[in-house]
Amino acid sequence: MEIVHIYTRKRSEFGRPCSFSDRPAEVCVDIQPNPSLAECFVLRSPVDAHVQHSSDMSEHEVNTERVEVETRGVNHVEGGWPKDINPQEMEQTIRFRKKVEKEENYVNTIMHLGTLMEHCVKQNNAINIYEEYFGEEEMAEVEDEPPSAKTINVIRDPNITKRTAAHLSWHPDRCKKLAVAYSSLEFQQNMKGMSFDSYIWDLENPNKPELVLKPSSPLVSLEYNPKDSHILVGGCYNGQIAYWDTRKGRLPVEVSTVEVSHRDPVYGAIWLQSKTGTECFSASTDGQVLWWDIRKLSEPTEMLVLDINRQGLLENALGAITLEFEPTMPTKFMVGTEQGIVIACNRKAKTPPEKIASTYSGHHGPVYALARNPFYPKIFLTVGDWTARIWSEETKESPIMWTKYHLSYLTDGCWSTVRPAVFFTTKMDGTLDVWDFLFKQNDPFLSLKVCDEPLSSLRLQDNGCIVGCGSKLGTVTLLEISSGLCTLQRNEKNLANAMFERETKREKILEARHREMRLKERAKSEGQDMEMEEMQEESPEEAFSRAQKEFFEVIEAELQRRARAEAQHLPGKVKKQAEEEAVLQGAESELPKYEEEDEEKDA
């Protein structure tokens, strides 16, 4: 069936706009159903069809050549002088200046520049372009940011035989350089042909070390001089002390002689606060602390034996693992030992025994890290065995705060340089923990899996934003922590100070209580000893009679106690029995009276 509608229109009306109007509906065609066609209808089973439309993609890999960057500079001393003028000659420069100042062009130029300079000075005095108008809002945003850290660089030991990154030291002026001491600290694990070199790395060019340091023995510790960034001091595995000047090359400028040096590896070497900037001191597991002046390394200027018995005997000395020195306290320093004891020393004491001021015992193994809080120097952190502990100088017997016991051994730790309640620890399982005691005390605020091998060293930049972690295989990982962990929070100093004072006061009360209990136990034990001595002086007969007397006294006391108990529990029964006994006694007393009367009657 074909349905066709034919519309006719004049040619002249072509192209005119249509004019619509409302009209009732009309039925154009009415098709009736045909029952015969329904018999031919066949039901079709459902069919699922899947169509996927996606563009074809291909993957390509390209390995480009590594670009090696070299840093070169130009030293510009002084310029602008004519060729015939020598800038080093004072008379020639003065004569030339006078000649130029007399010229008319010079005066006009100065007058023109003076007007511009005056405008800039007034503008600078009127507006502080560095003023922060919205400091509180920014701080609020920092507090809401979740803690995090990202890896910004990985520096690997370039040698085939990998060694432990034993110590890290940041450049004091530019935080773009890092000195790393490499050595194998495991017993009898130094392989034949193992390199002794340590390196200074430039973070902008981490593919190749900026300077190779070549000591006579592997370096265990390495420190930049805070007053002269070209000078470094290093402690060697064989006990020697050496110092380098980066301007003079890779070889050490001077090395201490073996006879006057340490006998064991130098685990700590720190610069002292001095006018010359050439004094330092070192500590080793041989039990000695030696003071040096790098201008004369032929012999140490001073020596201290770490004998806590204050006898000065080297055979009784405790081996030093770590050193701590705070520039604001120039006469005091602290030493962490292999035996888990921290020794507080005073260099300016009159006699060597007086130099050992006090000791703190709190770890089951070596104290691998020891650091004072940069905001509160009387509070210090120790890291050893499976815990990190916070101590106060005022409490000697126990720490004021401590972390839980971890499953892995702790290897290093340090305080944050910008936040008083934040510190960092590294563990043998390759984890870096960030602790914030104001936020959480039972668990770390942030825990990061840095690498699979054990972490051995830790060092934080002075700005507190970048932390370096050295591993057992010589890999140094640089992590940038989030701004919330490296920005001082609102009122944080007061809160941290209040917390430290509260915990210190609590420990003092506990120490006084324990001391009182020990005195009581001591007095009690002394009294028992005196009684034992008296008992030993008695004869056997006297001892037997005294024991018999004590036995019967105990029996008598027990009988009296039972009698009192029965009297309390059975008052009615006891009263009735007493009355019956009284009646019987009265009857018995009447019987003899009647018998006497009968006898008189018979008579």
Structure confidence at residue 136 (pLDDT): 55
User: Which amino acid type is present at position 326?
Assistant: E
Structure confidence at residue 142 (pLDDT): 46
Which stretch of 327-336, 437-446, 464-473, 522-531 has the lowest confidence by average pLDDT? Answer: 522-531
Q: In this predicted model, which residue has the larger pLDDT, 596 or 343?
A: 343
Per the listing, tokens 């685990």 go with 267
Residues 500-529: what's their mean pLDDT? 84
Question: 506: which 2 tokens?
Answer: 């609590």
The percent of residues in the chain predicted with pLDDT above 90, rounded, is: 14
Structure confidence at residue 596 (pLDDT): 47
pTM listed for this prediction: 0.64
- Please state the φ and ψ torsions of residue 535, each to the nearest 5 degrees: -65, -35
CA distance 246 to 230: 5
User: Which amino acid type is present at position 462?
Assistant: D
Average pLDDT, the chain: 82
Which stretch of 50-54, 233-237, 509-513 has the lowest confidence by average pLDDT? Answer: 50-54
CA distance 474 to 493: 37
User: What would the pLDDT profile of 309-350 be if each residue is shown by its tens digit?
Assistant: 877 788 888 888 999 988 888 888 899 999 888 988 888 877
| Domain chopping of the chain, boundaries | 149-507
Please classify residue 365 by burial: count the beta carbons closer than 10 Å to its beta carbon, then call 0-12 exposed, 13-18 middle and 19+ buried.
middle
User: What would the pLDDT profile of 339-359 be if each residue is shown by its tens digit?
Assistant: 888 988 888 877 777 888 888
| Residue 292 confidence (pLDDT) above 70 | yes
The pLDDT-based confidence of 222 (bands split at 50, 70, 90) is very high
User: What would the pLDDT profile of 37-50 be if each residue is shown by its tens digit?
Assistant: 877 887 777 778 77
The pLDDT-based confidence of 140 (bands split at 50, 70, 90) is very low
Structure confidence at residue 62 (pLDDT): 82
> Quick one: which of 383, 461, 411 has its CA closest to 170?
461
Beta-sheet strands, E only, within 130-246: 149-155, 164-170, 177-183, 198-202, 211-213, 219-224, 231-236, 241-245
Residues 270-298: what's their mean pLDDT? 88
| Residue 426 confidence (pLDDT) above 90 | yes
CA distance 75 to 88: 16
The pLDDT-based confidence of 523 (bands split at 50, 70, 90) is confident
Per the listing, tokens 């006018």 go with 275
Structure confidence at residue 431 (pLDDT): 92
CA distance 450 to 430: 6
| Residue 265 confidence (pLDDT) above 80 | yes
User: What would the pLDDT profile of 114-138 be if each residue is shown by its tens digit?
Assistant: 888 999 898 888 888 777 777 555 4
The dihedral formed by the CA atoms of 280, 242, 268 and 469, expressed in degrees to the nearest 10: 120
- Please state the φ and ψ torsions of residue 520, each to the nearest 5 degrees: -65, -45
Triad 380, 382, 383: Cα angle to 5°? 150
Q: Which long-range contacts (C-beta less than 8 Å, at least 24 apart) are formed by 364-368? A: 364/340, 365/338, 365/340, 366/321, 366/336, 366/337, 366/338, 366/339, 366/340, 367/321, 367/322, 367/336, 367/337, 367/340, 367/341, 367/342, 368/321, 368/322, 368/336, 368/410, 368/411, 368/412, 368/413
| Residue 588 confidence (pLDDT) above 60 | no
Under 8 Å between Cβ of 375 and 390: no
The percent of residues in the chain predicted with pLDDT above 70, rounded, is: 89
| Residue 66 confidence (pLDDT) above 50 | yes
CB within 8 A of 34, min separation 6: which ones? none
Residues 128-150: what's their mean pLDDT? 66
User: What would the pLDDT profile of 161-176 be if each residue is shown by its tens digit?
Assistant: 888 899 999 988 877 8
User: What would the pLDDT profile of 5-54 be if each residue is shown by its tens digit?
Assistant: 777 878 777 777 777 888 888 888 888 888 888 778 877 777 787 787 77
| Residue 595 confidence (pLDDT) above 50 | no
- Please state the φ and ψ torsions of residue 346, each to the nearest 5 degrees: -125, 115
CA distance 320 to 262: 11
At the second CATH level, the architecture of 149-507 is: 7 Propeller (2.130)
